[in-house]
């Protein structure tokens, strides 16, 4: 359906939804037209803000009846332009479904609605001596539904896995309004297709998640951190692999190129030690026994020194994390940037960061690397520091494309945790062959035959 036809049907959708008692916004919708991805914006025609699964079902029934595109939305912190609405289409904002329905401490599960903010879940779990181990810098605003829909990873994935590893069950509404429940509070489950795993990472294109059952862990009380400077990014990457392989079981292993840290330091007006180093490694270990946790930390320190660290210091945890977490925000303040969150088999990671810099030099661009070194998931941001730098407009697309080709040649994935959205969908054929993409398309057609649910995301246009 063309854009003006969509716009023409919006008033009827508003009337129907309000008739069902659903809160609908039709003005001041700009904030719902973007997420945290650079350069993407689209004005929606209406924003529906349901409070229950039944209201979500009513929204999807209306979308189906009027053939209107509808885009689910959580916290809007996504970095793949996956929450951008279709022009004049509907946004289904899930922030009001924000109840933690249950913390089942005995079975160690949480049952939550999709609009629960990640940090609120952390705090609720901690009150029971439990933890939900997925964590990331956007914790204060991203929502559990968005985390599931993107299969979010984050900084503790090296030890505890990504969002998919925590999800044991899902309630979801399909296009047209039917409600499905899949999985539940069991550690094992072989009853048919694991539809909850299919919905995880589906970026709102298959169904709208209205409840998630998540496994919880006992909260480890001891956490120790180290900071180590290196003379080169590649050496730091090599040392990260050595720590990862040594059995000290780090709960975070973050590589921070010094120029990336400097952007955050300037923004925060705060300095980390070792301003002259080329790269820093942050290593964190946690456990239930203080002595053993310290032993692990000390063993990690030995490995770092043995693998080229110029120094190892017990990290001022809060300061280091503050700087690490501020990098994305600092990058956003530059005249332009584009982020790639590729993930490669661990062993290829040092070579990958080397190749990123080689490509940047070749195209006259600047690049910074940082992120989850322990699992090969490196954020590579091509940045434009000055507006007058005209090699940006000419070259950045080719540089990103060359970089993605290298990622795939290493056996990697073009996105480790942010998803494809609109940002990377056209690059998917670099990684997957035509028959695999066709199998995905067949699935999408089966669940959403009219293609109304978050259209244009994940799959490249035919």
Ligand X SMILES: Cc1cc2nc3c(=O)[nH]c(=O)nc-3n(C[C@H](O)[C@H](O)[C@H](O)COP(=O)(O)OP(=O)(O)OC[C@H]3O[C@@H](n4cnc5c(N)ncnc54)[C@H](O)[C@@H]3O)c2cc1C
> In the complex, which residues of this chain contact ligand X (CB under 6 A)?
35-36, 71-79, 82-83, 94, 114, 136-138, 142-143, 145-147, 149-150, 152-155, 203-204, 208-209, 328, 417-418, 454, 457
CB of 179 to ligand X, least distance (A): 13
- Asked if 252 and 324 count as a contact pair (C-beta separation under 8 A), the reply is no
CB of 343 to ligand X, least distance (A): 11
CB of 50 to ligand X, least distance (A): 11
How does strand 217-218 pair with strand 90-93? unpaired
Of 44 and 312, which CB lies nearer to ligand X in the complex structure? 44
Q: Per the structure block, which two tokens stand in for 310?
A: 């110029």
- Asked if 175 and 64 count as a contact pair (C-beta separation under 8 A), the reply is yes
What whole-number distance in Å separates Cα of residue 201 and Cα of residue 217?
22
Say which residues have a Cβ less than 8 Å from residue 46's Cβ, sequence separation at least 6.
10, 13, 14, 17, 24, 25, 26, 29, 90, 91
DSSP H helices, 181-335, are 195-199, 233-245, 258-268, 290-306, 317-332
CB of 206 to ligand X, least distance (A): 8
What whole-number distance in Å separates Cα of residue 124 and Cα of residue 117?
11
Of 101 and 387, which CB lies nearer to ligand X in the complex structure? 101
Of 30 and 433, which CB lies nearer to ligand X in the complex structure? 30
What whole-number distance in Å separates Cα of residue 57 and Cα of residue 177?
4
Of 212 and 309, which CB lies nearer to ligand X in the complex structure? 212
Of 105 and 440, which CB lies nearer to ligand X in the complex structure? 440
- Asked if 365 and 396 count as a contact pair (C-beta separation under 8 A), the reply is yes
CB of 306 to ligand X, least distance (A): 29
What whole-number distance in Å separates Cα of residue 66 and Cα of residue 74?
24
CB of 204 to ligand X, least distance (A): 3
Which residues lie across from 229 on neighbouring strands? 280
Of 78 and 287, which CB lies nearer to ligand X in the complex structure? 78
Of 85 and 287, which CB lies nearer to ligand X in the complex structure? 85
Nearest to ligand X by Cβ — which residue? 146
What whole-number distance in Å separates Cα of residue 133 and Cα of residue 220?
10
CB of 325 to ligand X, least distance (A): 7
């Amino acid at each position: 359906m063309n854009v003006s036809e969509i716009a023409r049907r919006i008033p009827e959708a508003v009337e129907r939804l309000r008739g069902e008692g659903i809160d609908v916004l039709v003005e001041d919708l700009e904030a719902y037209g973007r997420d945290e991805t650079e350069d993407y914006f689209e004005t929606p025609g209406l924003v529906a803000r349901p409070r229950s699964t039944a209201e979500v079902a009513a929204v999807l029934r209306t979308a189906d009846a009027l053939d209107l595109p509808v885009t689910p939305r959580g916290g809007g912190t996504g970095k793949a332009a996956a929450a951008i609405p279709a022009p004049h289409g509907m946004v289904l904002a899930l922030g009001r479904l924000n109840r933690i329905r249950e913390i089942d401490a005995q079975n160690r599960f949480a049952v939550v609605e999709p609009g629960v903010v990640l940090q609120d879940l952390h705090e609720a779990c901690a009150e029971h001596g439990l933890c939900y181990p997925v964590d990331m810098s956007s914790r204060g605003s991203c929502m559990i539904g968005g985390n599931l829909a993107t299969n979010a990873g984050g900084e503790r994935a090296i030890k505890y896995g990504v969002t998919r590893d925590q999800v044991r069950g899902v309630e979801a509404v399909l296009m047209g309004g039917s409600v499905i429940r899949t999985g539940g509070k069991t550690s094992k489950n072989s009853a048919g297709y694991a539809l909850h795993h299919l919905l995880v990472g589906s970026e709102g294109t298959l169904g709208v998640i209205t409840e998630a059952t998540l496994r919880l862990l006992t909260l480890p009380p001891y956490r120790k951190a180290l900071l180590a400077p290196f003379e080169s990014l590649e050496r730091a990457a090599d040392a990260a692999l050595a720590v990862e392989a040594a059995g000290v079981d780090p709960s975070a292993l973050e590589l921070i190129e010094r120029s990336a840290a400097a952007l955050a330091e300037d923004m925060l007006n705060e300095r980390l030690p070792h301003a002259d180093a080329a790269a820093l490694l942050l290593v964190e270990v946690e456990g239930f026994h203080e002595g053993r946790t310290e032993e692990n930390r000390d063993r990690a320190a030995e490995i770092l020194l043995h693998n080229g660290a110029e120094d190892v210091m017990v990290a001022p945890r809060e300061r280091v994390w503050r700087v690490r977490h501020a990098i994305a925000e600092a990058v956003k303040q530059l005249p332009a940037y584009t982020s790639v969150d590729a993930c490669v088999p661990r062993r290829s990671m040092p070579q990958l960061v080397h190749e990123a810099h080689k490509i940047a030099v070749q195209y006259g661009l600047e690049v910074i690397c940082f992120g989850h070194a322990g699992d090969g998931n490196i954020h590579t941001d091509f940045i434009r520091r000055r507006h007058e730098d005209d090699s940006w407009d000419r070259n950045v697309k080719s540089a990103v494309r060359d970089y993605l080709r290298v990622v795939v040649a290493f056996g990697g994935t073009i996105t480790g945790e942010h998803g494809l959205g609109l940002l990377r969908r056209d690059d998917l054929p670099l990684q997957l062959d035509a028959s695999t993409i066709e199998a995905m398309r067949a699935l999408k057609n089966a669940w959403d035959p009219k293609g109304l649910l978050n259209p244009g995301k994940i799959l490249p246009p035919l």
